[in-house]
A and B are shown apart, each in its own frame.
Chain A
Amino acid sequence: MLNLNDCIRKLNPLQLKYITERYGLVLIPFSSHAAREALVSALTVDGFAGQCIANYSLSEKTALTVVVLLADYAPAEAINSIVENTADNREQAQETLRFILGSGLVYLAQIEPDNINRYIIPDELRKCLMSFVSEQFLSTAGRYEQAVSQEFHEHMSFELSVLAVLMDTIKNDVRLNTDNTLGKRAVNRLMPYLGLPPDSVDEKTVDKYANTIFGYLLELALISKEHHVQVRAVDQWLDLSAGKRRELFFDFLMEGKHTPLNFQYFVHLLSLIPAGNLYDISILFSLTRTVFGYNDVSFDEFCDHPFSCYPVLLLYLTGIITFAAENIHRFCAWRTTPFGKTLMSGGSQSEIVHQIDNHIIIQPNFEFMISRNADLKLLWQVYRFADLVQCEQLLRFHISRDSIYRGMACSVMRDEIVAVLERNAKGSVSQNVIYSVREWCEEYGAVYFMDVFLLRCKTKHIADHIKVHPRTKDYVKGSLSDTDLIVRKSDLEELIGLLKTLGFMPIEHVIRPEDEPAQPPGMAKLRRGRKFRERSAVVFDYNSVKILADISDLT
């Protein structure tokens, strides 16, 4: 913080001359000392600064607003780049900034200890400049309070979209691009669940948002993608309060890896605007355009589809801003929510309190309906064994044999499924649904794989010997035939040693079924004949015991 005197003292003589000439304070012969004093007196006259600003052009006013709002928070370089977005070209932006600096209302200085260039607002002018900024925003405040007939609501909470991504992940149907982003197909599959306002978001924006959520899940380690995408530790996340979950997501966005450059500054700009008042959509349009460019988006397009401007979509989906419309064709106003204001100012989060409705409406056609205001834990439980069909005010699920299979493969127990349904069912539960669910659950695991080795012996005699010998009998876990014994994989080394000790000559490496010693030519024809048995005795004479790779290979 510097006062006006300090700022003016830091000006070099040329800059000082430029400013004083502008205000007609040029002293001949030019004396720096006299010029400084004259400039201080002129700028501290009540209303003088305000009159100067009143004569600014629109682009100069916009640039001054950005500089004043961000001076304390962002380096000059970042602010300059934002101002450049408001101008047609870089030269014009620099000219505008030169003009603003030439008015002596804000100053540019190198600040220690890191010697970064920053804009300085002198203490004496701070009040005047902030009131100018407020006027810029507040000029249309309240205009729509009476006119608004319809306020927009989120179609789905952010948490649900996160769950949707997780759910899809569970289905193992998430294809990743080479850069580890979600593939187009995966994005298309997720789209209905992401809570995006219908018809207002273009394909590119959907892609960005889906990948932001995906990036967030990876960051939180809710999913991993080392070998294939897997879900982990979801319960920890579900145990967080709704406010905390949003706070975490907001922090993630502010880090900027998956969000547009300057998003932090944009949020800061919004945090300075009083919450609750409705503002003309033109303000949001110019702010968005100022900070992010979007020069190819016209005002009309913005009013029709504001969510195609990605930062606006993020703010909307995180509940920071809401929209209003005067008629059904166009958005006309917006405001920051009290929740959003708290989030942006980094204050402690008041809990998002909504009426929890954990009822599940179970229909005989295997459809479930659950309110989006249901406890997230319940939703998560249902996600695991039912397919989400539609995700809006009511979430529509469909349960099928396949979805139950998926759930059970994710370790959901039959009793858990039945308990969730019976505990939360609104009205009667159709008998056919419960019966089928129980039946499908029981079918799970009718066939399964075992991770064991098969010890194949040349003769029944050898197999019997191994089965009954005091040193080897405990290793035998079963048999498939007179000559095929089942042993644990982990006992392999030990067992080979033991067999050697007992005088057998086991093959020391594990043989895959396809690698069994080849049959001599013409063997297939003799498969059932005596000759085959004689020759096979020759083929297998080399070793008496061999271990096949895996029992599953035999099936």
Chain B
Amino acid sequence: MIRHDNPLIVQGDKSVLVEVDSPRYELARNSLIRFAELEKSPEHIHTYRITPLSLWNAAASGLTAQQVIVDLIEYSKYDVPQNVQRDIVEYTARFGKIKLDRTDNPEELYLSSVDPFIIEKIIHYKATIPYVDRIVDANTLVVKAEFRGIIKQQLIKMGFPVEDLAGYQKGDPYPIEILDETAGGMPFSLRHYQIEAVEAFYQSGSVRGGSGVIVLPCGAGKTIVGIGAMEKIKTQTLILCTNVVAVRQWIDEILDKTTVKKEDIGEYSGEKKEIKPITVSTYQILTYRKDKTAGFPHFKLFNSLKWGLIIYDEVHLLPAPVFRITASIQSTRRLGLTATLVREDGRESDVFSLIGPKKQDIPWKDLEKDGWIATAVCHEIRVNLKDHMRMQHAISSSRVQYRIACENPAKIPVIEYLLEKHKDDNVLVIGQFLTQLHEIADHINAPIITGSTKNEERQKLYDDFKKGRLKILIVSKVANFSIDLPDANVAIQVSGTFGSRQEEAQRLGRILRPKKHGEHAHFYSVITRETVDQKYSAKRQLFLTEQGYSYEIIDGENFLQQ
């Protein structure tokens, strides 16, 4: 029997398609997000997936298999395949079979199961043997507390999620409250989805909460979610970011919106080494070492104070050494923040095991519809390669081909035209190759920020841009992340890091903060036709098209003639 009003289509591979135009879409989505992961959300049909992890997360929040199945049947257009129902029951039943509890000794944890066969399996499983300290009885083992993260990782690989009831260390307390009015005198409160995100992470302080990842689009206020979590836990907090500019933005936001005093917040970077109750640092300084064989001297930051919360900003960029140390600090609450949980190295599962499961993921278009992020219009402008360059392009290696295509001088007239068209707007010109960016800077006479630009100068240029003294800013990939330029409403991308989806999304994110007068944001990607630039561009657009954005393809030559 087909129930036409229902939006869900449950497929045998456990993917769930959701028709966005259905009258019951909202209800179905709210139900679905409790036990399925959003995979992609293009314009008409969104795809969710029911995975063991998503079911274990659901089970951890108290949802039963029966409730999951009833909800699927309730909103499903067709019958729910039997194998899917069977798997839901089977996987959900696995949750809670293995538990991790405290012992009297803080350096040890109990790993127990009601099923002695599972314990037997752990004792004999090659990957878990090294972490088992001793056997207590047929149902209980003792493991070292320092292996808490690793053993959870290995047991998930075995197909058994661990219900981690060992809790978290409290960390030294630090009182922090969110202000009703910012230091700048503006009324302030958390938005509804930010409150939901904080609660999804905190779980009323239970051991089931306290570690996880929040996925929100750029401009939707991830920093505020972090501040919300800090207010809930009220403890000394370490915040890790991608660069110094982001560090300072975090500090500014915390000072602007909370009761934290200036003397209690510190910057731990290449320039300053302050360790305060609230410390903000960069991945770069943490992973600094003299040579490849040396240790990481700044890892001591993790133990320098008794942190009760560590916030990982842009968690999708977490470097491998930080992953490793995170495995050993599982007793500290961990919050990951990102807009794109897409790692080009495919290590998303490590983020899950070591930082925590995804706690919230809202389709970008949903926030756009509600006005929390700006409506963005994406364009791809294709220009030709001059004949003499075509020949050079044809005979070059693929890397050189990409460079030739990206640095195509024919892009410059298009950029000039766009700047003229958006002369009253705040425009970012973003690119990968410095020679190209400098050439553009010379042509349009605009300042440029690259990796070699000093932090003071960078900060000054960002401030000028924010205050409207500068209308055009040329930036290299240093501005891909964590740069808060609220009034930027046009981005012109002239080149990128090959087919990086997350870079494209992050760059769009630079212009997504809601505008004062509700105007649209424009994202232009200028590419060279019939070259690798076009091929990579198609790949880069994948993440955004799966978030519901569509690109208008424009012929560059026609565009200029018009």
Question: B334 contacts the other chain (Cβ, under 8 Å)?
Answer: no
- B553 contacts across to A, CB distance below 8 A: 431-432, 435-436
Question: A390 contacts the other chain (Cβ, under 8 Å)?
Answer: yes
A153 in contact with B78 (CB, 8 Å): yes
- A200 contacts across to B, CB distance below 8 A: 83
B546 in contact with A365 (CB, 8 Å): yes
Given the contacts A150-B82, A363-B545, A393 and B11 also touching, CB distance less than 8 Å: yes
The chain A residue with its CB closest to the CB of B87 is A199
A394 in contact with B9 (CB, 8 Å): yes
- A150 contacts across to B, CB distance below 8 A: 79, 82, 85
Per-residue A-contact encoding for B526-553, CB less than 8 Å = 1, 0 else: 0000000000001000100110111111
B380 in contact with A432 (CB, 8 Å): yes
Report A379-394 residues with CB < 8 Å from chain B CB.
390, 392-394
Given the contacts A153-B78, A432-B552, A328 and B42 also touching, CB distance less than 8 Å: no
Specify the main secondary structure of chain B where it touches its partner. Answer: mixed
Instruction: Name the contact of A369 in the complex, choosing from B2, B17, B77, B550 (C-beta under 8 A).
Output: B17
Given the contacts A431-B552, A432-B551, A365 and B40 also touching, CB distance less than 8 Å: yes
- B78 contacts across to A, CB distance below 8 A: 153, 393
B82 in contact with A328 (CB, 8 Å): yes
A392 in contact with B42 (CB, 8 Å): no
Question: B44 contacts the other chain (Cβ, under 8 Å)?
Answer: yes
Instruction: Name the contact of B45 in the complex, choosing from A155, A355, A369 (C-beta under 8 A).
Output: A369
Question: B81 contacts the other chain (Cβ, under 8 Å)?
Answer: yes
Given the contacts A427-B44, A430-B550, A390 and B15 also touching, CB distance less than 8 Å: yes
Assembly CA distance A328 to B85 (angstroms): 6
Instruction: Name the contact of B13 in the complex, choosing from A362, A363, A390 (C-beta under 8 A).
Output: A390
Best-surrounded residue of A199, A361, A393 (most CB of chain B within 10 A): A393
- B231 contacts across to A, CB distance below 8 A: none
The chain B residue with its CB closest to the CB of A149 is B73
Question: B86 contacts the other chain (Cβ, under 8 Å)?
Answer: yes
Given the contacts A394-B17, A432-B550, A436-B553, A363 and B82 also touching, CB distance less than 8 Å: no
- B82 contacts across to A, CB distance below 8 A: 150, 152, 197, 325, 328
A1 nearest CB across to chain B (Å)? 46
Question: A500 contacts the other chain (Cβ, under 8 Å)?
Answer: no
Assembly CA distance A329 to B550 (angstroms): 43
A426 in contact with B44 (CB, 8 Å): yes
Assembly CA distance A197 to B85 (angstroms): 13
Assembly CA distance A365 to B77 (angstroms): 24
Question: B33 contacts the other chain (Cβ, under 8 Å)?
Answer: no
B44 in contact with A363 (CB, 8 Å): yes
Question: B43 contacts the other chain (Cβ, under 8 Å)?
Answer: yes
Per-residue A-contact encoding for B43-71, CB less than 8 Å = 1, 0 else: 11100000000000000000000000100
Report A151-172 residues with CB < 8 Å from chain B CB.
151-153, 155
Assembly CA distance A367 to B546 (angstroms): 10
Report B364-416 residues with CB < 8 Å from chain A CB.
380
Best-surrounded residue of B43, B77, B548 (most CB of chain A within 10 A): B43
Assembly CA distance A155 to B83 (angstroms): 11
A155 in contact with B12 (CB, 8 Å): yes
The chain A residue with its CB closest to the CB of B88 is A328
- B123 contacts across to A, CB distance below 8 A: none
Assembly CA distance A325 to B81 (angstroms): 12
A9 nearest CB across to chain B (Å)? 56
The chain A residue with its CB closest to the CB of B555 is A435
B89 nearest CB across to chain A (Å)? 6
B545 in contact with A198 (CB, 8 Å): no
Best-surrounded residue of A362, A392, A426 (most CB of chain B within 10 A): A392
- A151 contacts across to B, CB distance below 8 A: 79
A392 in contact with B11 (CB, 8 Å): yes
Instruction: Name the contact of B9 in the complex, choosing from A364, A393, A435 (C-beta under 8 A).
Output: A393
Assembly CA distance A502 to B82 (angstroms): 82
Assembly CA distance A325 to B86 (angstroms): 12
A136 nearest CB across to chain B (Å)? 28
Instruction: Name the contact of A198 in the complex, choosing from B12, B542, B546, B550 (C-beta under 8 A).
Output: B12
Assembly CA distance A385 to B42 (angstroms): 21
- A362 contacts across to B, CB distance below 8 A: 44
Assembly CA distance A534 to B553 (angstroms): 58
A430 in contact with B43 (CB, 8 Å): yes
Per-residue B-contact encoding for A195-223, CB less than 8 Å = 1, 0 else: 00111100000000000000000000000
Instruction: Name the contact of B42 in the complex, choosing from A153, A329, A365 (C-beta under 8 A).
Output: A365
Given the contacts A369-B17, A390-B15, A198 and B44 also touching, CB distance less than 8 Å: no
Instruction: Name the contact of A392 in the complex, choosing from B12, B45, B546, B549 (C-beta under 8 A).
Output: B12
B157 nearest CB across to chain A (Å)? 21
- B69 contacts across to A, CB distance below 8 A: 328
A364 in contact with B545 (CB, 8 Å): yes
- A364 contacts across to B, CB distance below 8 A: 42-43, 545, 548-551
B383 nearest CB across to chain A (Å)? 14
Assembly CA distance A363 to B20 (angstroms): 12
Assembly CA distance A426 to B22 (angstroms): 13
The chain A residue with its CB closest to the CB of B19 is A361
A481 nearest CB across to chain B (Å)? 21
Per-residue A-contact encoding for B455-481, CB less than 8 Å = 1, 0 else: 000000000000000000000000000
The chain A residue with its CB closest to the CB of B10 is A393
Best-surrounded residue of A151, A200, A365, A366 (most CB of chain B within 10 A): A365
Best-surrounded residue of B79, B86, B546 (most CB of chain A within 10 A): B86
A266 nearest CB across to chain B (Å)? 24
Assembly CA distance A460 to B21 (angstroms): 72
Given the contacts A198-B81, A200-B83, A436-B553, A390 and B40 also touching, CB distance less than 8 Å: no
A426 nearest CB across to chain B (Å)? 7
Assembly CA distance A414 to B383 (angstroms): 23
Assembly CA distance A178 to B44 (angstroms): 46
The chain B residue with its CB closest to the CB of A426 is B44
B84 nearest CB across to chain A (Å)? 8
A365 in contact with B81 (CB, 8 Å): no
Assembly CA distance A436 to B555 (angstroms): 12
Assembly CA distance A433 to B246 (angstroms): 37
Given the contacts A198-B12, A392-B12, A361 and B44 also touching, CB distance less than 8 Å: yes
A177 nearest CB across to chain B (Å)? 28
- B548 contacts across to A, CB distance below 8 A: 364
B77 nearest CB across to chain A (Å)? 7
A437 nearest CB across to chain B (Å)? 11
A198 in contact with B42 (CB, 8 Å): no
The chain B residue with its CB closest to the CB of A196 is B12
The chain A residue with its CB closest to the CB of B529 is A439
- A197 contacts across to B, CB distance below 8 A: 12, 81-83
B111 nearest CB across to chain A (Å)? 29
Instruction: Name the contact of A153 in the complex, choosing from B77, B79, B89, B551 (C-beta under 8 A).
Output: B79
Assembly CA distance A153 to B80 (angstroms): 10
Best-surrounded residue of B9, B78, B552, B553 (most CB of chain A within 10 A): B553
A400 nearest CB across to chain B (Å)? 9
Report A175-199 residues with CB < 8 Å from chain B CB.
197-199
A153 nearest CB across to chain B (Å)? 6
Assembly CA distance A366 to B44 (angstroms): 12
The chain B residue with its CB closest to the CB of A151 is B79
Assembly CA distance A195 to B562 (angstroms): 52
- B13 contacts across to A, CB distance below 8 A: 198, 390, 392
Assembly CA distance A339 to B431 (angstroms): 64
Assembly CA distance A430 to B44 (angstroms): 11
11 A–B contact pairs at CB < 8 A? A200-B83, A329-B89, A363-B43, A365-B40, A365-B42, A369-B17, A392-B11, A392-B13, A393-B78, A426-B44, A436-B538
Q: A153-B78, A392-B13, A431-B552 are in contact. List 14 more A-B contacts (CB 8 A).
A: A153-B79, A328-B86, A328-B89, A362-B44, A363-B42, A364-B545, A364-B550, A365-B42, A365-B542, A390-B11, A392-B9, A392-B12, A426-B44, A430-B43
> Which 5 A-B residue pairings sit nearest by Cβ, starting from the closest?
A364-B550, A365-B545, A363-B42, A328-B85, A198-B12
> Which B residues form the contact surface with A (CB < 8 A)?
2, 9, 11-13, 15, 17, 21, 40, 42-45, 69, 77-79, 81-83, 85-86, 89, 380, 538, 542, 545-546, 548-553
